[in-house]
Amino acid sequence: MEVVDVWTGQLACTLQSALRMTNESFANRLGISSRTVATWHSDPDVVPRPEMQQLLDSVHEDAPVAVRKRFTLMTADTGQTDATAPFSQAQALRVAIAVVVREQDVLLVCRRAEDAPGITWQFPAGVIKPGVRPETATIRETLDETGVHCAVRQRLGERVHPVTGVHCVYFLCEYLAGDATNSDAVENVDVTWVAKSAVTRFIPAGNIYPPILEALEEDV
């Protein structure tokens, strides 16, 4: 059986293709967020952290013989990017972004490096699954990720994120209850409230969707 010395985003996506899994099913198999899988597609050169390397090793080793053979054939081709590109395009991802405000504070989460290249702190986010309303995904993912209950106040718009390449739908949300806690330690390093006026100290202003900045300024 072929042994992978170092997993990259590209090799992880090739394993996903060999298993013939969607982003969501592959993420569930690994016990991680679909957002991480989407990042591997958008940044094939990223090297996952050691814990993730071990998870990928386990999935590869436990895969049926036919899957491992398929993986070997796919990796033997030097054009791996071309081999995985159709699969990546078919898995176009939509993510709901929650801008949760509590008086003069806004909720932020700190992602682990490979989850979003070039980004550390960001607003809570979650994949919008087929058949699920973006508003519902926003509320549910915020609760699952941070322990905070919120309600959607306003849809701010949507765009393709300039760093991750993921299609994002943004919502201004109102805090209802709950203490901010890191409920997803695999994906996040920390969760905290920061002053609205200090958001750009955590997230570069150029990476923030302009309507978010406008909404936060109106609330101050």
Write out pLDDT tens, residues 24-69: 889 888 988 887 888 888 778 788 888 888 899 999 999 998 888 8
- Paired tokens of 192: 């905290």
Distance CA 201, CA 194 (A): 10
**Closest C-alpha among 98, 123, 129 to residue 108:** 123
* Same domain membership, residue 143 and residue 108: yes
**Averaged pLDDT, 175-190:** 86
Q: Looking at the domain assignment, is residue 207 inside a domain?
A: yes
* Same domain membership, residue 198 and residue 109: yes
* Same domain membership, residue 180 and residue 122: yes
* Same domain membership, residue 192 and residue 110: yes
Distance CA 145, CA 5 (A): 32
Q: Looking at the domain assignment, is residue 4 inside a domain?
A: no
Q: Determine the pLDDT at residue 72.
A: 86
Q: What is the pLDDT of residues 12-23, one digit of tens each?
A: 989 998 898 888
Q: Determine the pLDDT at residue 123.
A: 94
Token match 């993730």: residue?
52
Given 3-state DSSP classes, what are the helix, strand and coil percentages for the chain, each rounded to the nearest 5?
A: 45, 25, 30
Tally the residues of the chain: 220
Q: Which of 90, 114, 133 is the last residue of a domain?
A: 90
Q: Determine the pLDDT at residue 83.
A: 38
* Same domain membership, residue 214 and residue 150: yes
Distance CA 69, CA 71 (A): 5
* Same domain membership, residue 112 and residue 66: no
Q: Determine the pLDDT at residue 126.
A: 86
Count of CB atoms situated within 10 Å of the CB of 140: 15
* Same domain membership, residue 200 and residue 175: yes
Host domain of residue 160: 94-219
| pTM of the full structure | 0.62
Q: Determine the pLDDT at residue 132.
A: 87
Q: Looking at the domain assignment, is residue 161 inside a domain?
A: yes
Q: What is the pLDDT of residues 75-131, one digit of tens each?
A: 875 344 333 444 443 345 789 999 999 999 999 999 876 545 556 888 999 888 888
Q: Determine the pLDDT at residue 128.
A: 87
Q: Looking at the domain assignment, is residue 1 inside a domain?
A: no
Q: Determine the pLDDT at residue 79.
A: 46
* Same domain membership, residue 98 and residue 83: no
Q: Determine the pLDDT at residue 129.
A: 82
Q: Determine the pLDDT at residue 107.
A: 96
pLDDT grade for 220, boundaries at 50, 70 and 90? low
Q: Which of 69, 90, 111 is the last residue of a domain?
A: 90
Q: Which of 37, 61, 90 is the last residue of a domain?
A: 90
Count: domains in the chain: 2
**Closest C-alpha among 114, 147, 96, 102 to residue 43:** 114
Write out the DSSP string of 122-174. Answer: E--EEE--TT--HHHHHHHHHHHHHS-EEEEEEEEEEEE-TTT--EEEEEEEE
Distance CA 216, CA 220 (A): 6
- Lowest-confidence segment of 127-131, 155-159, 198-202 by average pLDDT: 127-131
The torsion angles phi and psi of 194, rounded to 5 degrees, stand at -130, 155
**Averaged pLDDT, 178-185:** 86
